[in-house]
Structures are given as C-alpha cells and as structure tokens.
Amino acid sequence: MADELDAVVRADQTMPDHLSMRDEDGEIRADFVAAISRAIAEENAPFLREIVSDLHEADVGDLIEALDSDERVRLVELTGADFHFSALNEVDETVREEILEELEPEAVAEGVRELDSDDAVELLQVLDEDEQDEILGKLPQSERDALERSLDYPENSAGRRMQTEFIVVPRDWNVGQAIDFMRETPDLPDRFYEIYVVDGINRWQGAIALDALLRSHRDVPLADLIDEDRRKVSVLDDQEEVARLFGKYNLVAAPVVDTDDRLVGVITIDDVVDVIEEEADEDLKALGGVSSGEELSDRVWTIARSRFNWLLVNLATAFLASSVLGLFEGALEQMVALAVLAPIVASQGGNAATQTMTVAVRALATRELGSSNAYRVVMRELLVGLVNGIGFAIITGLAAYAWFRVPGLGVVIGLAMVTNLVAGALGGILIPIALDRFRVDPAVASGTFVTTVTDVVGFFAFLGIATLWFGLK
Amino acid sequence: MADELDAVVRADQTMPDHLSMRDEDGEIRADFVAAISRAIAEENAPFLREIVSDLHEADVGDLIEALDSDERVRLVELTGADFHFSALNEVDETVREEILEELEPEAVAEGVRELDSDDAVELLQVLDEDEQDEILGKLPQSERDALERSLDYPENSAGRRMQTEFIVVPRDWNVGQAIDFMRETPDLPDRFYEIYVVDGINRWQGAIALDALLRSHRDVPLADLIDEDRRKVSVLDDQEEVARLFGKYNLVAAPVVDTDDRLVGVITIDDVVDVIEEEADEDLKALGGVSSGEELSDRVWTIARSRFNWLLVNLATAFLASSVLGLFEGALEQMVALAVLAPIVASQGGNAATQTMTVAVRALATRELGSSNAYRVVMRELLVGLVNGIGFAIITGLAAYAWFRVPGLGVVIGLAMVTNLVAGALGGILIPIALDRFRVDPAVASGTFVTTVTDVVGFFAFLGIATLWFGLK
C-alpha cells in the first residue's frame, strides 16, 4: 500500500500539474496523449489509475480514441477496477468492438455489472451473439435475464434504450412516505428525475417529478401530485419516434410500458440526446451518400467498400444521362458549343433540385411536412423553381450568347434552363414525398433519383430544343 | 357563467369525442383543423378556450401552423387568458413574428409575463427593437430589466438561452433546511432538476441534484452533497458549445455564470435539445445549399430570393468548369465521344468528393476531427479515393470501350477517373479543414469549392489525357 502511494507520487512528478488533457479550444493535447502512451509502455498502473478515475468517462472515451489500437486494451487492463466501462460507450463502435473482443470475458462481465442496464445493453449490442452469451453467462442470473430481455427487443426500439432501474411507489402513499422510502432504499438508480406510480399488477398510473415532491409537505397525498397525462412510450416504439416526443413535449424522462401497459423501464433524456445526434448524423450522411455506420476510426478498406456501392449506383445514372447526350451525337458534332454548355444546364438544375430536396427531406424527418400541407409545399416549390428558372434563363442566355456569339443559342439555353429548374423543383419535392409514402427513408434514396432527373431532363431539353431551333440532326 | 358553461356543452356536441387532433400516424387530422376554423369563424370562444387549455402547448403550436394566416391571430384573441404564449415558441419564426405584430402590445405583454424568462426572450427576439421596447414598456420594472439584460447578450449565446429563475441555497444548510425552504417558497421555477450553492456574493460553489437531496436524511449537511466539478457555462459561450457539453457529459441542467463567476442563470436540457436540432438543421441545409433561416411557412418570393444567391455562385463555377471544356473544343469536334463521356468523369468525382466532404463536415461539427487526427484522416481519405478510383477506372474504362469501341478510350477515361477521385478525396477533406481553420463554417462553403475542383479536374484530366493519347488538337 505504501509502495503504491509512493508510485503515485512519483507518477505525479512525471506529470506536471499544468499538463491538463485539453487545450483552450477543448482539443486533446498531443503531449497529454504522449504521456499516457509512455505510462502504458512502462506499465505505470498507479499513474494510469489516478488519471482514469479523475477524468469524466466521456473524456476517458476521447483519450481511448486518441491512443493506438493496442494501447487501448492495455489501458483498460492496467487500470482494472478503476476503469469505468461506461467510457467504452463514448467511443466509436468499431473501437468498442475491438477492445471488447481483446479483453478477457471475465473482465468484461465484471465491467458490465457496474453499469446501468441501458449502458450495459449499449455496450453488449456491438458484439455478436456468441460473444454476448459468453459474457452474459458470467453474470448472476437476475442480471443476465434482464439484459437478455432488453437485447431481445428490436434494434432502435425503446426497449433497447430504456434502463430497467426505476423507482415505483403505490398510489396511496403520501410525500413523506415516498421520501422515507428513498432515504432507506440502498440501491436506487444512479440518477433519476421522477418516480412512478403503478397499481398492484405493475400497470402504469402516472409520474411524479422530483421537484413536485420537494415543493410539497410530507402529509400531501401522492395522488395530488401525479401527472397522469405524462407521455409514455411503448417498448416497441422506434427510438426516432421517442426522440420526437421528448423534443416536442420537453421531457427529461419517459416511462416505457409493455403491451399490457405494465411499466418495464425508463428512457432518460441523455439517451435521447444520443438518439437525436445519431439521427441527425444519419440523415446528413445519407444525403451525402455515406452509410450511417461509417465511423472516423474505420479502416480504409471498410470505408472504400461501403462508399463503393453508392458510387456504383451513381455511375449507372451518369451513364444513363450521358446516353441522352449520345442520342444527339450529330448535333454535338455540328455545334460543339452545345457540348460545352450542356453540363451547365444539368448542374444548375441539379443544384436547385438539391435545395428543394434538402428542405423536403428535413421537413419529412421532423414531421413538419405531412399530408395536410403537402399540396401547399409542392405548389410553392414549383413556383420557386419557375421564378429562379426564369432568372437563370436570362442570366445564362446572355452569358452563353456573349461567349459563343451564336444567335439563338441564348434563347435555347434559357428555355432549357427554365424547363430543368421546374423539373428539378418537382423532382426535388415529389421524390422524397413518394419515397416517404412507400416507407423508404427519403434521405437515403432521394439524391440519386433527383440528380438523375435533372441530368436527363437538362441534357434532353437543351439538345432537343437546340436540334429543333437550329435544324440540326 | 351559466351561459358560458352552456356554450361549452353545445360546443362539445358539435365536436364529437372521437374527433381527436391527430390520426394514428401522429399527423393532424384535416377535420380537426376544419372544426377549429369553423369555430373561429363563428367566434365560438368557449369552445376554443376549452380546446386550447386541454392541448399541450406544442400541440397548440402545430394547430396554429395548420390554420390560415388570419385565423391564427383570431385564435389567440378569442382564447385570451387561456392561450399560453409558450405555444408561440413552437411555431416557425415567420409565423410567430406575424402573430406578434398583429396582436395588441398589451396582450403580448400580458402573455409574456406568464412565461419563464428564457421563453420570454425566445418569443421577443423575433421582433425588431422598437416592437420589443413597446412590449417591454408595459411590463413591471424588474421583469423588464431582467429581459432587457438577457436580450443584450449576443444571439446564440448562453445568456440568451438561460432562464434567470433558479434556486440557490447557502453552503452551511443541511438537507432539511433546503427542503423546508422549497416547501415554503411560493414562486419556485416551473420545473427544476437541481439547486445551486453560492457564497455571500453570489459566486458559484456547486450544484446539488434533486435525487441527491431525496436520498439523504434531513440532518446531512449540503456540503456533503455538493458536486463541485459540475460543468458550468459562461454567459457568452456559444450555444453550440453548450450543447456539446450537455451531450458529452449527460447534463440535464447547467449553471450559467458571468465573467466574475457569479451565478446568473440556468440552461436546461429542453433548450439544449432545441439547439441540437437547430444546429443539425443548419448543417444539413447548408450542405444542401439552403439558408438556415428558411422555413416551411416562408413565402415563394422570400425562398426564391434566398436560394438564388447560392445558385448564382454555382452558376459561376459551372461556367468555370465549362470553360475548361471550351479549351478543348477542337478535341471535342474531332471525337464527339469525349463530349458524351466527360460529364461521367466529373459527376463520379463530384459524388466521391461529396462523400468525403460530408464525413469531414460532420466530424468537424462534432469535434471528432481535430488537429490530433487530421493527418491520419487525410491519408485515409486519400487511400479511399485511390482504391475506389482504381475500381471505377476499370469499370468505366470497360463500359466506355464497350460503348464506343474506340481503342484506348477505356484507358484514357480510366486514368482520368483515378485522377479525379484522388483529387476529389483531397478536396473533400482539405477544403472543409481549411475553412474550419479560417473560422468559416465548412458546412456552408465546402460544397461549391469541392464540386468545382472535381468538375475542373475531371474535364481537364479527361480531355487533356485524351488529347495527348489520341494526338488531337
């Protein structure tokens, strides 16, 4: 013990006080990471334990990501019981999986036992079923059962996100009894914001916020404080739906009930914040043609393969668009200016359509756009396309004439521009709405369709009108 | 009174029980909106008051957006004191501004008085200064001062988002004294999750979560429960920074201190959820070339004008790219297949670059990408670009040869494809990083630069290599 203390003191000397984890901008300092790497190489466990127990688990997570692959596992092993496994929920899934697979199942089981059930589920769900079973097998029966039940709920369901630790009280108690109960129960959940009232067979009755308890005198019956209108969530509800509920009604926690209306868990706002960020991440990536699972720590090969598929679809649509150009080979040969200008018509239409599509995808995701206002929004986008189409028809027409000095070329590109911006507006709004109706995520699939429309319409309109106007063939 | 009750009963008869606001999908029912419109036309105030006080303010907000412009103001006027002004914070800013400008300043001042300070600030900040002053002038001095102070903080700062109602206790109290204080103080904040400890001159000492109070016996000194490490926020911190803190450390509330470390307000998670959603919205729209202020209820002209600017920038870059094609007019005339295929090279590069850019923009926004890992991520993107570049060089080369049967054409387009995918990868990662260094929002500006790079490089590489290979001029 004296030895260990000594070691800590020596460790502290190698780590001066001013060497903190982050610089003023909140970025991790390179010399901090280097000091940790050194300590891992030297197996300086007391020093690492001190660091890890001083840091918030979110910071431990960031530290882990900044380390090299093999240092990560060593850090967890060297710090032992001082390492809080919730830090592993703060790192990319790829990294988490790597670490969990390297660690001894006993060590993982030990770490999982310290976690709230929702954190334990989040941790375990990155492993495949065999690995999960191996770890679950090392847990006490009751904990194993609870976790297996949660893992059985579909991915992205409320059942996966909920914690099964919560406080229930009977309806006929008063405030004093509820407070005494909390003072005397040893293993309350780590953090909680409300308590729940259930009937004799565990059916949901209502919620009581902690501030409501604290405002009231001891003799006030709980029945007076129960909020029976509180939104509840079903275990099978999609997490996106749950997040919307929290955002809309400003909740910090929501009870989760099973199909018989029995209270089985609680979802708290910190989990919902994660969901909101994940969903925003997914939509943004989907619109950019990146799979939602792609993480910054993924390897080159994994990333290249996952992006390849989407690019392949795009290549097919690019050939489709070019085949329209191919139809007009004769015209292109006779007037090379058409070949030079055609991409402008397609690109401008594509950009205008992307604007419309972005707004539509976002409004569908937030449910601002629904059947009640779809007609109004479609008409509005159509008009915006027309107005900007006319504007850019004039600008592009003048520019094209000024460039090539071919009489009529300005009119031709102008007409094509209006056509394509109107087509783009229609495609940009109708394609996401249609995909949403068919329960396909509009963020994932809209982009390809929309730019295909504007490429094909752009090329066809420009070269078709040019062929007629100039009598080409 | 009897008359009014009578009216309510009659109103209820025209509104059968089964006519609820939303259908199973959570969308507002058209017949519900129609019934409200009818009641507004008939000035059936008792019915509307009943509806408005039964609904959650978020639902009242949705209802308002579903109504016509002039009906919205009438609804607020007809429901009077039963209308809770926080519902106006749930509607688009355009709609909120319209309603507030139509209402009598007295009515608005009356409504503002009912709100928590953060909600009042959110409501008032859409108005211009004259209108704000007119309403503030009708408030009691102390409320006016508090709101004016908050409105003086920069937009998007913590000072604007915080509420100034919170509970402070002295450090030397025990749990019993704190609970008694809450029981006896009549106007506590509407909802709260923690109480704060300050010294004699209001300087921040620490926070105590309500669950910590409720677990402890009355004689436990507060000093034992204080969390002194709790993250705090400065009034001038950017709301995005605040949101990151909440997300990272799983907070439900954070104290806001001024430059002298005095506690001046509290930010709660519900406001932070709004910030997270706003920021996600902004990034998504920025990448799609739409201004963050654009709302679904904006008019055609407003939208067309705001999108026009971005399209104009794109038109300029499209002309720039086409001017590269113009350099090779001779080559295009000699071999029209080049004109047909050139857009494929540009488009594939643009899509690959957009993938990289999307990942970069998102990682910069979440601070996952920083100076500590920038080099690693750049190298990785470069390799991904190379790997997929080679893959698509082969596919496109074969397809191009199969289509035009020109020997060498496959090699030429293949080489151009690799070049452009590598250039796209570099542009896609370096441009956002550079913009971020120069404190320009990478989400707003990256897209244009990146696709300009891939258009220019794509056309130049393809036609340049073709010119050399085939000896064109």
Question: How far A134 CA sits from the closest chain B CA (Å)?
Answer: 30
What is the average pLDDT score of chain B?
90
What are the chain A neighbours of B346 within 8 Å (beta carbons)?
A: 343
What is the pLDDT averaged over residues B317-326? 95
In this complex, is the C-beta atom of B402 within 8 Å of any C-beta atom belonging to chain A? no
> Taking a contact as any Cβ pair under 8 Å apart, which residues of chain A between 3 and 42 contact chain B?
26-28, 30, 33
In this complex, is the C-beta atom of A64 within 8 Å of any C-beta atom belonging to chain B? no
Do the chains contact at A216 and B183, CB–CB below 8 Å?
A: yes
* Dist CA B367 CA A23 (whole Å): 13
In this complex, is the C-beta atom of A78 within 8 Å of any C-beta atom belonging to chain B? no
Query: Per the structure block, which two tokens stand in for A26?
Result: 């909140």
Count CB pairs under 8 A between chains A and B. Answer: 305
Sole residue written with tokens 């996966």: A160
> Taking a contact as any Cβ pair under 8 Å apart, which residues of chain A between 103 and 142 contact chain B?
none
Do the chains contact at B346 and A343, CB–CB below 8 Å?
A: yes
Do the chains contact at A455 and B347, CB–CB below 8 Å?
A: yes
Q: Residue A262 carries which DSSP code?
A: B
Tens-place pLDDT, residues B291-315: 888 888 888 999 999 999 999 999 9
What is the pLDDT averaged over residues B2-14? 40
* Dist CA A173 CA B293 (whole Å): 50
Indicate the pLDDT class of residue B114, thresholds 50, 70 and 90: confident
Write the single-letter amino acid at B28.
Answer: I
Do the chains contact at B383 and A300, CB–CB below 8 Å?
A: yes
Are the beta carbons of B394 and B325 closer than 8 angstroms? no
Residue count (chain A): 473
Write the single-letter amino acid at A153.
Answer: Y
What are the chain A neighbours of B215 within 8 Å (beta carbons)?
A: 182-183, 188
Q: Which overall architecture, per CATH, does domain B300-470 show?
A: Orthogonal Bundle (1.10)
* Dist CA B351 CA B454 (whole Å): 9
* Dist CA B189 CA B116 (whole Å): 8
Selected residue of B355, B379, B386, B417 to mutate for chain A interface (largest A Cβ count, 10 A): B355
* Dist CA A290 CA B378 (whole Å): 17
Is CATH 3.30.420.110 the classification given to domain B2-161? no
Class of domain A168-271: alpha beta
* Dist CA B442 CA B447 (whole Å): 9
**pLDDT at B7 > cutoff 70:** no
In this complex, is the C-beta atom of B213 within 8 Å of any C-beta atom belonging to chain A? yes
Closest Cα in chain A to B281: A362
What are the chain B neighbours of A318 within 8 Å (beta carbons)?
A: 343-344, 347-348
Do the chains contact at A27 and B370, CB–CB below 8 Å?
A: yes
Return the HEC string of chain B. CHHHHHHHHHHHHHCCCCCCCECCCCCECHHHHHHHHHHHHCCCHHHHHHHHHHCCHHHHHHHHHHCCHHHHHHHHHHHHHHCCHHHHHHCCHHHHHHHHHHCCHHHHHHHHHCCCHHHHHHHHCCCCHHHHHHHHCCCCHHHHHHHHHHHHCCCCEHHHHCECCCCEEECCCEHHHHHHHHHHCCCCCCCCCEEEEECCCCEEEEEEEHHHHHHCCCCCEHHHCCECCCCCEECCCEHHHHHHHHHHHCCCEEEEECCCCEEEEEEEHHHHHHHHHHHHHHHHHHHCCCCCCCCCCCCHHHHHHHHHHHHHHHHHHHHHHHHHHHHCHHHHHHCHHHHHHHHHHHHHHHHHHHHHHHHHHHHHHCCCCCCCCHHHHHHHHHHHHHHHHHHHHHHHHHHHHHHHCCCCHHHHHHHHHHHHHHHHHHHHHHHHHHHHHCCCCHHHHHHHHHHHHHHHHHHHHHHHHHHHHHCCC
Do the chains contact at A273 and B277, CB–CB below 8 Å?
A: no
> Taking a contact as any Cβ pair under 8 Å apart, which residues of chain A between 427 and 466 contact chain B?
455
Position A10 scores a pLDDT of 39
Do the chains contact at B343 and A322, CB–CB below 8 Å?
A: yes
Backbone angles phi, psi at B22, to 5 degrees: -120, 150
Closest Cα in chain B to A90: B248
SS3 A399: helix
SS3 A201: coil
Do the chains contact at A362 and B285, CB–CB below 8 Å?
A: yes
Residue count (chain B): 473
Q: Across the interface, which of A284, A290, A369 has its CB nearest the CB of B283?
A: A284
Sole residue written with tokens 């901090």: A32
Q: How many CB atoms lie within 10 A of CB A69?
A: 11
Q: Across the interface, which of B209, B340, B395 has its CB nearest the CB of A191?
A: B209
**pLDDT at B176 > cutoff 70:** yes
**pLDDT at B16 > cutoff 50:** no
Task: Burial-class residue A195 by CB neighbours within 10 Å (0-12, 13-18, 19+).
Answer: buried
Do the chains contact at B304 and A387, CB–CB below 8 Å?
A: yes
Residue B419 contacts by C-beta under 8 Å, 6 or more apart in sequence? B389, B457, B461
Q: How far is CA B355 from the centre of its chain?
A: 22
Position B143 scores a pLDDT of 86
Tens-place pLDDT, residues B240-293: 999 989 988 889 999 999 999 999 999 999 999 999 988 888 989 999 999 888
* Dist CA B155 CA A330 (whole Å): 58
* Dist CA B260 CA B263 (whole Å): 9
Do the chains contact at B214 and A246, CB–CB below 8 Å?
A: no
Selected residue of B231, B240, B315, B462 to mutate for chain A interface (largest A Cβ count, 10 A): B315
What is the pLDDT averaged over residues B137-146? 89
Closest Cα in chain B to A57: B249
Position A17 scores a pLDDT of 44
Rounded to 10°, the helix A442-470/A336-365 angle is 150
Q: pLDDT (tens digit, 0 to 9) for every residue of chain A, 473 residues total?
A: 344 433 333 334 444 444 588 887 777 888 899 999 999 999 999 999 999 988 988 999 999 988 988 899 999 999 988 999 999 999 988 899 999 999 998 999 999 988 888 899 999 988 988 999 999 999 999 889 889 988 999 988 999 999 989 999 999 999 999 999 999 998 888 889 999 999 989 999 999 999 999 999 999 999 999 988 788 999 999 999 999 899 888 899 999 999 999 999 999 999 999 999 888 889 899 999 999 888 888 889 999 999 999 999 999 999 999 999 999 999 999 999 999 999 999 999 999 999 999 999 999 988 888 887 899 999 999 999 999 999 999 999 999 999 999 989 999 999 999 999 999 999 999 999 999 999 898 988 888 899 999 999 999 999 999 999 998 87
What are the chain B neighbours of A473 within 8 Å (beta carbons)?
A: none
Q: How far is CA A24 from the centre of its chain?
A: 28
Tens-place pLDDT, residues B28-84: 888 899 999 999 999 999 999 999 988 888 999 999 988 988 899 999 999 988 999
In this complex, is the C-beta atom of A277 within 8 Å of any C-beta atom belonging to chain B? yes
Bridge partners of residue B227, in order along the sequence: B207
Are the beta carbons of B63 and B90 closer than 8 angstroms? no
Are the beta carbons of B160 and B121 closer than 8 angstroms? yes
Burial A433-460 (b: 16+ CB within 10 A, else e): bebbeeeebbbbbbbbbbbbbbbbbbbb
Position B279 scores a pLDDT of 87
Going from the C-alpha of B8 to that of each of B15, B44, B109, the distances in angstroms are 10, 9, 28
Selected residue of B25, B94, B210, B429 to mutate for chain A interface (largest A Cβ count, 10 A): B210
Tens-place pLDDT, residues B355-376: 999 999 999 988 888 887 899 9
Question: How far B204 CA sits from the closest chain A CA (Å)?
Answer: 21
Position A19 scores a pLDDT of 59
Do the chains contact at A355 and B269, CB–CB below 8 Å?
A: no
Sole residue written with tokens 């295929």: B341
Do the chains contact at A347 and B455, CB–CB below 8 Å?
A: yes
Position B54 scores a pLDDT of 87
Better pLDDT: A385 or B191: A385
Tell me the fold of B168-270: CBS-domain (3.10.580)
Position B19 scores a pLDDT of 58
In this complex, is the C-beta atom of B220 within 8 Å of any C-beta atom belonging to chain A? no
Do the chains contact at A359 and B290, CB–CB below 8 Å?
A: yes
Nearest to A173 by CA among A108, A222, A233: A222
Indicate the pLDDT class of residue B470, thresholds 50, 70 and 90: very high
Question: How far B149 CA sits from the closest chain A CA (Å)?
Answer: 25
What are the chain A neighbours of B321 within 8 Å (beta carbons)?
A: 343, 347
